[in-house]
Chain A
Amino acid sequence: MAAYDFLYPVVLFGAILVATAITSKVLSFIIKGKFKTWAPVVRANFQRLVSITVWIIGLLFAVDQLGLRIDFFLLIVALLGIAILLALRDTLDNLGAKYFSDVYVPFKVGDIIKVANKSGTVIEINPIATVLLTDNESLVSIPNSLLLKEKMENITPHIWKEMLFPITISSDINLPEFESEILKACNNLRKYLDERFPPVLTIKSRSSQTVELVLTLMVKKPDKKNEIIKEINLKISEIEDRMRRKVT
């Protein structure tokens, strides 16, 4: 009887963890299938958010089965969270703004922007601030949080045409082949794009796990921009899926 009392919660704990893992995978798969036209970076982050949420709920349930008090545990986690948020409020503000500016890419290094009565060429974007070089060759540091609060104007010539697609692929994927497939997919949308600026894929960074890329396209007419963004995101997802399947 004693062995049963001990083993039952442990088995239940394990079963909940397994169920959590399966639920997380299934939801991730559903998100991937349902939101193919979203920017790949946004979709990946949404998947991650849902996965973390599922795991937190699953862990709480699992810990509950072991007979441990989760209310005290939750209180400590919440207090720690509040303390971290208060201590790093300004930094997190900037980091969050940097995250959103990465996702929506309103400007990049080399662009000329105007924000909070300052204008200049963007020469650096770091996690805290964006650095501008002004016409009189002085440096202006704009906190990233300000870029979300203030009206920001990108005055680079032809900038309205530009569409940047951040892409993250596994480093196992054959990059030359992936690039070639992406370019061929973009070629099919040529009539909507400015012919003087063919698609360009640039490597932003790479690690042993992933390669961060940006696809740059220039649209011909602004009214088609949204449709093209959806179409290109869809193509990127399809190509990435196909190539990942090849690897596995």
Chain B
Amino acid sequence: MEKLSLCLSSQTPLVRFNIEHQDTLAKHGASGQLINLEQLVEGEIYQFTAGGVTRMVFPLLKRMIEEGSLANPNWISLNPFGPEKIMVGGITLHHVRLDKERMKGYGQAKEAIWKAVHGIPEENLPVDSLFWQDEYADYTYYNRLFSELVLKLDQENNFDLFYMHDFQQLPMAHMLNNFKPKIFRWHIPFNESLIPETWRPSLSSYFNAYDIVVVSCKRYLDSLKNFGYKGDARYIYPYIDQTAYKKPPESEISKFNEKFGLKDEDRVLLVVARLDPMKGQDRAVKALANLRNFPNLKLVLAGNGSFSSSKQGIGLSKAELWLSRLRELVVEMKVENRVVFTGHLTHAELQAAYERAELTILPSVLEGFGLVVIESWLYKKPTIVSSAAGVAEIINHGENGLLFNPGDPKDLADKIATALSNENLLLSLGDNGYNTSHQYSLEQGTKSEVELMIDLVGAGV
């Protein structure tokens, strides 16, 4: 079998840079040379971007390279601070930049699309006529910039396949307009009833320019077919590299307790999610306020803004706004002493957080999948999951998790109380979750992804 040559694109870059790329080059005396990420200091110069796309895609590419099925993949993403090109683990990362004005327009248009798909009212742009707004022209500019770079790289590399990740990149196949195989992975929820009527012809032609469209669960697949996608539609449940999640030493847990003021007798409810109203942290705070019978209960909200919210990213301010709204809510609900905002956690801290937690919650209003549930299962932690999350599809209520209605904080409070009051239930939910987690491993994911690519490109590759 020959090695596959792949070009992948996503809005979110694998790494965010803390300093301008000219400074990075100067600091390492590497002007004019291709830098390898391993030469730079993690934390000081860059940090890996959180989020499902990067958590899945990077391990997938690495694993495929290790298995010998992939040669020098190219990954294009948006990165306002990053160098034009950088290498990591045999992968060439290409970074696209937008000027400030275009970035603003692009950010607003893609945010409006994101909100519509999640059923959230948009305040800044008219939704029905979004595709006629100048901001949408900036969104098109962004996609054309990516497409032109893909075509240029294709001339140099002769790729077998193009793989576009997430809704921001949807118009790319239509723009590339060539016969090479194209896969699109839609990571966010897909509910065709939420798509505005005036968007349908355009979205339909964008989707139909792909040979295969992959979604994160069965219900989105059905919805995509109802929407009118005529090509090969599939679902692959998201997956993670489970070997990266290890049991932390006691010293790490003590450090975590100390850093965030947790006492030994505290019972910890953990929510790991970026700061975004869609992640439903407010539901968890309201549920906590209903749980007065558990005085030692502490809610730990881990996570900061996404790439879109970050200053090194698109610079949208929604994470800050949401954080301040949550802080107000905590005061309103009189639970100031029972809620901990951790902000960004390092991987070591995240492992300690899972280990320290008694119960994890995914309170999302709507969620493409919810990989944090799999993560928490790896630590045998029971989870309570919003029925509106894609991951709810793999939860057998009462067996490997508990489901709750995200529109009803009282329901969440009841489920938490049920779990915390029953030691055996907690144990069995954790054990069964742990057993379920193996199905969402990198090995399983890689197998499904390689099958998909071979189906499309041909077994000879």
Contacts and interface: CB of A to CB of B under 8 A. Distances in A.
Interface string B114-153: 0000000000000011011110111011001100100000
A215 B202 CA distance: 14
A67 interface: no
Nearest to B138: A180
A195 B129 CA distance: 7
Main secondary structure of the interface of B (DSSP, over half): helix
Interface in B184-202: 197-198, 200-202
B177 interface: yes
Interface string A133-176: 00000000000000000000000000000000000000000011
A196 interface: yes
Q: Specify which of B141, B148, B177, B197 lies most central, judged by the most chain A CB atoms within 10 Å of its CB.
A: B141
Interface residues of B, number: 23
A184 interface: yes
A195 B198 contact: yes
A175 B137 contact: no
A11 interface: no
B202 A197 contact: yes
B263 to A, nearest CB: 56
Q: Considering the complex of A and B, which 9 residue pairs feature the smallest CB-CB distances, nearest first?
A: A198-B131, A176-B144, A183-B137, A180-B141, A180-B137, A176-B141, A176-B145, A190-B132, A184-B137
A44 interface: no
Contacts of A175: 144, 148
Main secondary structure of the interface of A (DSSP, over half): helix
Q: Specify which of A177, A190, A198 lies most central, judged by the most chain B CB atoms within 10 Å of its CB.
A: A198
B201 A203 contact: no
Contact of A187 (B133, B144, B145, B201): B133
B177 A187 contact: no
A210 interface: no
Contacts of A203: 175, 177
Contact of B137 (A187, A195, A196, A200): A187
Contact of B134 (A176, A184, A200): A184
Nearest to B130: A198
Contacts of A184: 134, 137
Nearest to A176: B144
Contact of B202 (A179, A180, A198, A202): A198
A199 to B, nearest CB: 8
Contacts of B148: 175-176
A187 B198 contact: no
Contacts of B141: 176-177, 179-180
B171 to A, nearest CB: 9
Contacts of A196: 197-198, 200-201
Interface string A194-233: 0111101011000000000000000000000000000000
Chain A interface residue number, banded: 10 to 19
Contacts of A195: 128-129, 132, 198
Contacts of B140: 179-180, 183
A187 B128 contact: no
30 contacts: A175-B148, A176-B141, A176-B144, A176-B145, A179-B137, A179-B140, A179-B141, A179-B144, A180-B138, A180-B140, A183-B137, A183-B140, A184-B134, A187-B134, A187-B137, A190-B129, A190-B132, A196-B197, A196-B198, A196-B200, A196-B201, A197-B201, A197-B202, A198-B132, A198-B136, A198-B202, A200-B174, A200-B202, A200-B205, A203-B177
Nearest to B205: A200
B95 to A, nearest CB: 16
Contacts of A179: 137, 140-141, 144
Given A198-B136, A203-B175, 12 more contacts: A175-B148, A177-B141, A179-B140, A179-B141, A180-B140, A180-B141, A180-B144, A187-B133, A195-B129, A196-B200, A196-B201, A202-B174
A237 to B, nearest CB: 19
A114 to B, nearest CB: 24
Interface string B393-427: 00000000000000000000000000000000000
B132 A187 contact: yes
B247 to A, nearest CB: 49
A183 B205 CA distance: 18
B169 to A, nearest CB: 15
A212 to B, nearest CB: 12
B1 to A, nearest CB: 33
Given A175-B148, A187-B137, A196-B198, A202 B177 contact: yes
Contacts of B177: 202-203
A176 B145 CA distance: 6
A176 B131 CA distance: 16
Q: Specify which of B128, B201, B202 lies most central, judged by the most chain A CB atoms within 10 Å of its CB.
A: B201
Contacts of B145: 176
